[in-house]
Structures are given as C-alpha cells and as structure tokens.
Amino acid sequence: MEIPVLKDRDFIFFQKLIFELAGISMGSSKKPLIGNRLATRLRYFELESYEDYCKILSKNENEEERQIFIDLLTTNETSFFREPIHFEFMKSHILNTESLANPFRVWSAACSSGEEPYSIAMLLEDKIKRGKWEVVASDISTRVLEKSQNGLYPIDKSEKIPTDYLKKFCLKGVNANSGYFKISDAIRNEIRFLSVNLNQPFPNLGKFNIIFLRNVMIYFDKETRVKLIRQISSALEKDAYLFIGHSETLLEITDQLVMIRPTIYRKK
C-alpha cells in the first residue's frame, strides 16, 4: 500500500489534537515525523488518506485509538543513570543524612521505558533499607509503561549501570532471553507504574521528596509549562527537590522553586 501525502489541513488537525490531549507543541518541522509515524495506522485500517484517519480520531468515544495516537507521537529516549550529576547529587547531598523521610518518596514523572525509575530504585535500595523508600513511575504512553513493568532490556543498555548494581539488581537472560538482562524482582516489585497525563490534573499521588521531570518541558509551550510546574510544586514536600533536563529552565516559570545548581531546584 502506497502511503498518501500528508496534507496541511490534516497535519494541523494532528497538531491541535496532540496539544489538546498531551500538551505537546509540534511545529511544522515535525510534519514528516507525524506522517511517518501515523502511516502505520493508515496501513492498519487500510485507509486511503490521512483525512480518513482524522475522522476516526474525531470520534470522542474512540479513546483506545487516541491513546495509540499519543503513543506513536511521543518520543521516548532514555538510558540507565542518564545525567549522572543528578544521581551523584542524590547520593552526596540528599541521601547522606540520617533524617530522611520514612518512606522516602521519588516520582519519575515521565519514565519512558523504565531506565530512569529503575536507576533511582537501585540507588535507593543501596542507600536506604528496603521498605523505607517508594518510587512512582508514570508516563502518558501505555506502550512504554508495559515495557517498563517488564524490566527486560538488551544487554548493551547495561553499560552505564555501576558494576556492583549490575550484580546485585540485574539478572542475565538465558535461552529465549539470551542477549538481554532483567531487573530483579526485589527492585521491580517496589516500583508503582501508572499512566499519568501531565497536561491534566494529577491523580492523588501524595507528596514527594524528589521529582524527576527531565526533558519533558521542551515539548510544551510556556503556558503549559507554568501550569505543569504549579502542579509539580504542589506535589513536592517542603525543601524537596525537582530535577529537570539540561536544556530546560524554570526561569520566568515559577517563584516557588529555588535553583540549587543548573537543573536542580528545591521547594521553598
């Protein structure tokens, strides 16, 4: 089946819908990406045009297809112990005190395929006794959440995991899983995975001592970022920390959080 040309009016429809559903702003440069990723749904439904797919998405009751639409257009790039400065800061400035909250709670607010929350959990398990920490991992994409919960990764993904953590918290795959490794049950079972749309009111998750919100705001316009950070601030305990990506800033976004160093903020 030959994939049709993505017309401007259909591209504009997809732009508006992904912003409405997920708060994600996609400029005109993303037109080829949108066309390529949604082409799979044209083939699936045997459609002759993107306009026909627009009609399917226009039906408000078609929640399942709208979720697939979100999954296809959200980018999920991550790795274990990505941005080492954050994990080093946790280890040397936060987890080295005897007056830690019990339980100590961390939210990986856009966990993608799970490398981030598993990295957090390994560090917490190493530094805090089990049962005295909690990790919540969320993403808007149900597709990557399923992968996260499974905790199975190609062996080359293990390169940035400290050797002692690899031995303590990971299992080498055998037979059908040869060439892969799996996160141990001791870690996997302690993480709560949830589908959360950061562009909507948060579910009742409680308060956190650290929130990882890395490389999320780059997809949002300023108004959406302001609303998001207002909600994030409300989910932080007093003196709790927010970690963001190196290409992001809270300048002119909020006065509720103070920058400790680039990408690391603390609630007043």
pLDDT at 74: 81
pLDDT at 142: 84
pTM: 0.86
Please report the domains of the chain, with CATH numbers, ordered by start residue: 8-73 (1.10.155.10), 84-267 (3.40.50.150)
pLDDT at 181: 96
DSSP state string for the chain? -PPPP--HHHHHHHHHHHHHHH-----GGGHHHHHHHHHHHHHHHT-S-HHHHHHHHH-TT-HHHHHHHHHHHS-----TT-SHHHHHHIIIIITT-S---SSEEEEETT-TTTHHHHHHHHHHHHHS-TTSEEEEEEES-HHHHHHHHHTEEEGGGGGGS-HHHHHHHEEE--GGGTTEEEE-HHHHTTEEEEE--TTSPPP----EEEEEETT-GGGS-HHHHHHHHHHHHHTEEEEEEEEE-TT---TTT-SSEEEEETTEEEE-
Active site residues: 37, 139
pLDDT at 151: 94
pLDDT at 22: 85
pLDDT at 97: 80
pLDDT at 1: 61
pLDDT along the chain (268 residues), means of 10: 86 94 88 92 92 91 86 82 95 87 94 95 89 92 88 94 96 90 93 94 96 92 94 96 94 94 94
pLDDT at 130: 67
